[in-house]
Structure 1
Amino acid sequence: MAAFCRGRHRWKRTNCWHVLTRNLTGKFDYDLVVIGGGSGGLACSKEAAQLGQRVAVLDYVEPSLQGTKWGLGGTCVNVGCIPKKLMHQAALLGTAVKDAHKYGWQLSGPVSHDWSTMADGVQNYVRSLNWGHRVQLNDKKVKYLNMKGSLVDEHTVRALSKAGKETILTAKNVVIATGGRPKFPANVPGAAEHGLTSDDIFWLKKSPGKTLVVGASYVALECAGFLTGIGLDSTVMVRSIALRGFDQQMAGLVTDYMRAYGTRFAWKCVPKRVDKLSSGLLQVTWTDTSSGQEHRDAYDSVLWAVGRAPESKVLGLDKLGVQLNPETGKIVVAADESTSVPNIYAFGDIGEGRPELTPTAIKAGRLLARRLAGHSSELMDYDNVPTTVFTPLEYGCVGLSEQEAERRHGSDGVEVYHAFYKPLEFTVAERDASQCYLKVICERGGAQKILGLHFTGPNAGEVTQGFALAVKCGATYSHLLQTVGIHPTCAEEATKISITKRSGLDATVTGC
């Protein structure tokens, strides 16, 4: 045995022993090993365990460059959806306080926001979720290992603890659900040294102060929005367009509202360098690409939201021949989440072409677990997945953007019904509703099947979720008109929508 496994490293000998034992007995330590303890990985592992599978899940968080680290649950729980929505709620409450005067509330004294109180509340809640996930794994008999996972072969995973202790696990199937992490720009001196990302902003103990947010993704706009909403000076630096991949008319409404709300925008600008001044402030130098002029200003914080990179480099995929997209670094997956190597599967944000959304990862993970356990053949359907951008004026959508609908069906093959409306809540408060808008994109011919629905306004996620079911079921424009609205709500405007863009008529709602 010693001769068979001779090598300089202990892990090689251990690995050889596991592989040889597996080959001789045909038995594995587990039916399923999941690498990644985010929402998708947890959903997959718990579903598999419920179906009688022997399951282990590996999760380890490398601290951010600024030293931020967190517990079990992945991006959504720790540095994404959950803390983001809670801080967005803090900003909404600030707006509500301003509206309260118009509604008769007598608020004595100045109203101010305390970052540390909000941060403590949010962080304590997130920690409770971390603990809850560990309890659930234990209850469902899933083996949890707080270790880094990498692949040795299609049935073998090497797990490494923070202290360097190694464990080798064998499994019939291995699932990769490691997601991604925020990127820093490679060509901007001082960016990584002095900057923050979404991995850091939610775990700050003190206010970030005057903040420059670089990027115009939904992450960038959501962060800038809640920073403005709690009273901080925030600026968004945009290289090209906002909300790439979303309907661009809706993106314009979102940023117009944000600008009126108090967020500054530096359009067509590219950062060049970040320098730390003796005062502790960060001096950012950038170029206005439209004029070629160079500008600089000082900020307390610089938040980079310029994209995310998949956590695939440390998995050892290249040695096994797992196919990656060379441009994105994501794993190429088939409809059943399989990779180019048998018995290795991947889903969620690390999968090429998959929506980077928590609910899709959760559902895909559960369906994969059922298929691997032999309980189902159902595949994940990635069409008509709804989502919402939690900016100060929320934007919810499901289905195709207007641009994509026209690309697929031609401009003459698409009918767009639209309406500008005023939420009842805005009336007494005398709030501007210029950007409150919805549009329903339909096939022009036949039954006018709904191709996409887009909504900006209060509670956009709640509104869009309901209509998403209808779109998923193949709803048509006539179905929408046959639906009785709930009055007075914002969502009811969709059931009354009748003006087409093609008509050129004023789409402003003027009454019942």
Structure 2
Amino acid sequence: MAALCRIRHRWKRIQYLHVFTRNLAGKCDYDLVVIGGGSGGLACSKEAAQLGLKVAVLDYVEPSAKGTRWGLGGTCVNVGCIPKKLMHQAALLGAAVKDAQKYGWQIAGTVCHDWTTMAEAVQNHVKSLNWGHRVQLQDKKVKYLNLKGSLLDEHTVRGVSKAGKETILTAKNIVIATGGRPKYPTNVPGAVEHGITSDDIFWLQKSPGKTLVVGASYVALECAGFLTGIGLDTTLMVRSIALRGFDRQMAGLVTDYMEAYGTKFAWNSIPKRVDKLSSGVLQVTWTNTEMGCEHKDTYDSVLWAVGRAPESKALGLNKVGVQLDEATQKIVVGADESTSVPNIFAFGDISEGRPELTPTAIKAGKLLARRLAGQSAELMNYDNVATTVFTPLEYGCVGLSEEEAERRHGEDQIEVYHAFYRPLEFTVAERDASQCYIKVICERGGDQKILGLHLTGPNAGEVMQGFSLGLQCGATYHQLLQTVGIHPTCAEEVVKVHITKRSGLEPTVTGC
């Protein structure tokens, strides 16, 4: 055994000597090594390879606290955007079935939802995407390594396999795109032992049943929304406000609709502990901070959606001097995604001050690859990036919130045009449209440049994508009014808004 250990030690020394001599000679195994196989890392690696660089990408999924694992593609593909949107669609179909009867469809028998059927279909689709990513990397001559990567020095990456086997790679440039993972509360006994996160919910083989969702982020609201939509008893526990960082009025409309839709809310509430009873159900104890009283209730599942933490701790960043933000532990980056170490770059959710959105990571990754290949000097533009919250009533937005516009420009220097509208689809179905709303925030003077646009309503993401192009091009309110709408659509209502908040007039759309 001692002899075997000496051989292993000697082999490691040979490996490190190999790395050292290669670096001295200025030669590396790869032009670029990307640590992280999420959407951004894959986009960066494929783009770089297409431009002639020799590229390797390392990706390794640490199981969640509940043991959930998944394949190549990162958060968005496996435990984020893709399965979330599909389960949101399942919920929308449930609402559509109810509407269908008003439209003349004869639906016999009781309509109910089967979690297992949905989950299997969603998971199969995700697995097909995993396989597709592997094929794409192979086709584009990117070396894929299922290894957990960390830095040994500014040009050297150490990869460790599931079995503990070590691989050393050297690279001219290194890119970190490891994203983040959901957090558990650290001060709630039983939270980890008995709770799940968004890393688990989409891979459950059976229905979560009566569920408590703790959190107020878009992840929390989206999960609570689709769980309610497929018929599960769902409660959302919110400490203070929902959708922090988004427009406050719009956030209120979203939660108002969710309450009317059937999601229960425990406002101003802080969980204290989670206990598993002998019957197998989970008893949650919490405090209402407004009333100062304690409550208890039982649930089949508790889903924690209380924020995400960057995957930066195990990267060995301190060894090479990569600067982290003390508060967030994210990597501090420049406008060109550079870190404090010249040839090490980072982008996506791991980077401080960047929007945690898949499309921004993909775009930033591609642009970085082009710069590293010497093909372009273009930087990522993080302004006016549109996004949508896929709650039962979708909320799409681009640009500034009303609060941020007031902070930057002053309340007297902005004009807010708004309208409550009723989607045509809601009329025959007799659905409540009181939270369907449009807000266009503009500069008050000059050409009235549009600063922000917000919409709650069906297909908000599809509507907002087109208008986001307008904001990228510096669209003004006058240009918006000159745009002819497509009738009859929800998007049409955006180009018709003409009533200002300042006027105090009734903003409800009543006709053409």
In structure 2, how many angstroms separate the alpha carbons of the residues matched to 1:461 and 1:274?
Answer: 36
In structure 1, how many angstroms separate the alpha carbons of the residues matched to 2:118 and 2:14?
Answer: 48
- Alignment correspondent of 1:469: 469
In structure 1, how many angstroms separate the alpha carbons of the residues matched to 2:160 and 2:354?
Answer: 28
- Alignment correspondent of 1:233: 233
- Alignment correspondent of 1:369: 369
What SS does the corresponding residue of 1:499 show, helix, strand or coil? coil
In structure 1, how many angstroms separate the alpha carbons of the residues matched to 2:186 and 2:148?
Answer: 25
Q: TM-score, normalised by structure 1?
A: 0.98
Contact 2:274 2:282 in 1 (8 A): yes
> How far does residue 25 in structure 1 lie from its aligned partner after superposition?
2.4
Contact 1:86 1:122 in 2 (8 A): yes
Q: Does 1:442 align with 2:442?
A: yes
Q: How does 1:322-361 map to 2 (within 5 A)?
A: 322-361=322-361
Contact 1:7 1:13 in 2 (8 A): no
> How far does residue 320 in structure 1 lie from its aligned partner after superposition?
1.2
String of CA shifts for 1:196-238, please: whole Å, max 9, x gaps.
0000000000000000000010000000000000000000000
In structure 2, how many angstroms separate the alpha carbons of the residues matched to 1:315 and 1:270?
Answer: 33
Contact 1:436 1:457 in 2 (8 A): yes
In structure 1, how many angstroms separate the alpha carbons of the residues matched to 2:291 and 2:24?
Answer: 70
Judging changes above 3 Å, is the alpha-carbon distance between structure 1 residues 417 and 39 closer, same or farther for their aligned structure 2 residues? same
String of CA shifts for 1:72-95, please: whole Å, max 9, x gaps.
000000000000000000000000
In structure 2, how many angstroms separate the alpha carbons of the residues matched to 1:355 and 1:9?
Answer: 44
- Alignment correspondent of 1:186: 186
In structure 1, how many angstroms separate the alpha carbons of the residues matched to 2:384 and 2:130?
Answer: 31
- Alignment correspondent of 2:295: 295
- Alignment correspondent of 1:109: 109
> How far does residue 163 in structure 1 lie from its aligned partner after superposition?
0.2
> How far does residue 7 in structure 1 lie from its aligned partner after superposition?
12
String of CA shifts for 1:234-282, please: whole Å, max 9, x gaps.
0000001000010010000000000000000000000000000001100
> How far does residue 309 in structure 1 lie from its aligned partner after superposition?
0.2
> How far does residue 350 in structure 1 lie from its aligned partner after superposition?
0.3
Identity of matched residues, %: 83
String of CA shifts for 1:26-78, please: whole Å, max 9, x gaps.
11000000000000000000000000000000000000000100000000000
Aligned residues: 507
- Alignment correspondent of 2:158: 158
Q: Does 1:495 align with 2:495?
A: yes
Contact 1:310 1:330 in 2 (8 A): yes
What SS does the corresponding residue of 1:157 show, helix, strand or coil? strand
Contact 1:333 1:346 in 2 (8 A): yes
* Structure 1 alignment gaps of length 5 or more: 1-5
Judging changes above 3 Å, is the alpha-carbon distance between structure 1 residues 10 and 483 closer, same or farther for their aligned structure 2 residues? farther
Contact 2:36 2:57 in 1 (8 A): yes
The one-letter code of the counterpart of 1:181 is: R
In structure 2, how many angstroms separate the alpha carbons of the residues matched to 1:287 and 1:299?
Answer: 17
In structure 2, how many angstroms separate the alpha carbons of the residues matched to 1:24 and 1:449?
Answer: 55
Contact 1:147 1:160 in 2 (8 A): yes
The one-letter code of the counterpart of 1:159 is: G
In structure 2, how many angstroms separate the alpha carbons of the residues matched to 1:481 and 1:465?
Answer: 18
Q: CA RMSD in A?
A: 1.1
- Alignment correspondent of 1:61: 61
- Alignment correspondent of 1:44: 44
Q: Does 1:198 align with 2:198?
A: yes
Q: How does 1:63-82 map to 2 (within 5 A)?
A: 63-82=63-82
Contact 1:18 1:168 in 2 (8 A): no
What SS does the corresponding residue of 2:235 show, helix, strand or coil? strand
In structure 1, how many angstroms separate the alpha carbons of the residues matched to 2:278 and 2:82?
Answer: 36
Judging changes above 3 Å, is the alpha-carbon distance between structure 1 residues 15 and 312 closer, same or farther for their aligned structure 2 residues? farther
Contact 1:18 1:170 in 2 (8 A): no
- Alignment correspondent of 2:486: 486
> How far does residue 319 in structure 1 lie from its aligned partner after superposition?
1.5
In structure 2, how many angstroms separate the alpha carbons of the residues matched to 1:374 and 1:302?
Answer: 49
What SS does the corresponding residue of 1:290 show, helix, strand or coil? coil
In structure 2, how many angstroms separate the alpha carbons of the residues matched to 1:473 and 1:440?
Answer: 16
Judging changes above 3 Å, is the alpha-carbon distance between structure 1 residues 359 and 10 closer, same or farther for their aligned structure 2 residues? farther
Q: Does 1:90 align with 2:90?
A: yes
- Alignment correspondent of 2:3: none
What SS does the corresponding residue of 2:175 show, helix, strand or coil? strand
- Alignment correspondent of 1:388: 388
- Alignment correspondent of 1:3: none
Judging changes above 3 Å, is the alpha-carbon distance between structure 1 residues 184 and 14 closer, same or farther for their aligned structure 2 residues? farther
> How far does residue 318 in structure 1 lie from its aligned partner after superposition?
1.0
The one-letter code of the counterpart of 2:31 is: D
String of CA shifts for 1:131-176, please: whole Å, max 9, x gaps.
0000000000100000000000110000000001000000000000
Contact 2:23 2:155 in 1 (8 A): no
Judging changes above 3 Å, is the alpha-carbon distance between structure 1 residues 371 and 427 closer, same or farther for their aligned structure 2 residues? same
Contact 2:91 2:229 in 1 (8 A): yes
> How far does residue 12 in structure 1 lie from its aligned partner after superposition?
5.0
In structure 2, how many angstroms separate the alpha carbons of the residues matched to 1:240 and 1:510?
Answer: 35
In structure 1, how many angstroms separate the alpha carbons of the residues matched to 2:389 and 2:226?
Answer: 12
* Structure 2 alignment gaps of length 5 or more: 1-5
Q: TM-score, normalised by structure 2?
A: 0.98
> How far does residue 9 in structure 1 lie from its aligned partner after superposition?
4.6
Q: How does 1:139-288 map to 2 (within 5 A)?
A: 139-288=139-288
- Alignment correspondent of 1:507: 507
Contact 1:56 1:142 in 2 (8 A): yes
In structure 2, how many angstroms separate the alpha carbons of the residues matched to 1:300 and 1:320?
Answer: 46
- Alignment correspondent of 2:23: 23
> How far does residue 23 in structure 1 lie from its aligned partner after superposition?
3.2
> How far does residue 24 in structure 1 lie from its aligned partner after superposition?
3.8
What SS does the corresponding residue of 1:440 show, helix, strand or coil? strand
What SS does the corresponding residue of 2:296 show, helix, strand or coil? strand
In structure 2, how many angstroms separate the alpha carbons of the residues matched to 1:161 and 1:189?
Answer: 33
What SS does the corresponding residue of 2:83 show, helix, strand or coil? helix
> How far does residue 22 in structure 1 lie from its aligned partner after superposition?
1.4
In structure 1, how many angstroms separate the alpha carbons of the residues matched to 2:50 and 2:63?
Answer: 32
The one-letter code of the counterpart of 1:41 is: G
What SS does the corresponding residue of 1:432 show, helix, strand or coil? coil
In structure 2, how many angstroms separate the alpha carbons of the residues matched to 1:274 and 1:327?
Answer: 28
String of CA shifts for 1:457-507, please: whole Å, max 9, x gaps.
000000000000001100000000000000000000111100000000000
In structure 2, how many angstroms separate the alpha carbons of the residues matched to 1:7 and 1:360?
Answer: 47
What SS does the corresponding residue of 1:118 show, helix, strand or coil? helix
Judging changes above 3 Å, is the alpha-carbon distance between structure 1 residues 10 and 224 closer, same or farther for their aligned structure 2 residues? farther
In structure 2, how many angstroms separate the alpha carbons of the residues matched to 1:247 and 1:51?
Answer: 41
The one-letter code of the counterpart of 2:299 is: Y
In structure 2, how many angstroms separate the alpha carbons of the residues matched to 1:292 and 1:381?
Answer: 46
In structure 1, how many angstroms separate the alpha carbons of the residues matched to 2:124 and 2:141?
Answer: 26
> How far does residue 15 in structure 1 lie from its aligned partner after superposition?
4.6
String of CA shifts for 1:317-337, please: whole Å, max 9, x gaps.
012111001111100000000
> How far does residue 376 in structure 1 lie from its aligned partner after superposition?
0.4
Contact 1:191 1:273 in 2 (8 A): yes
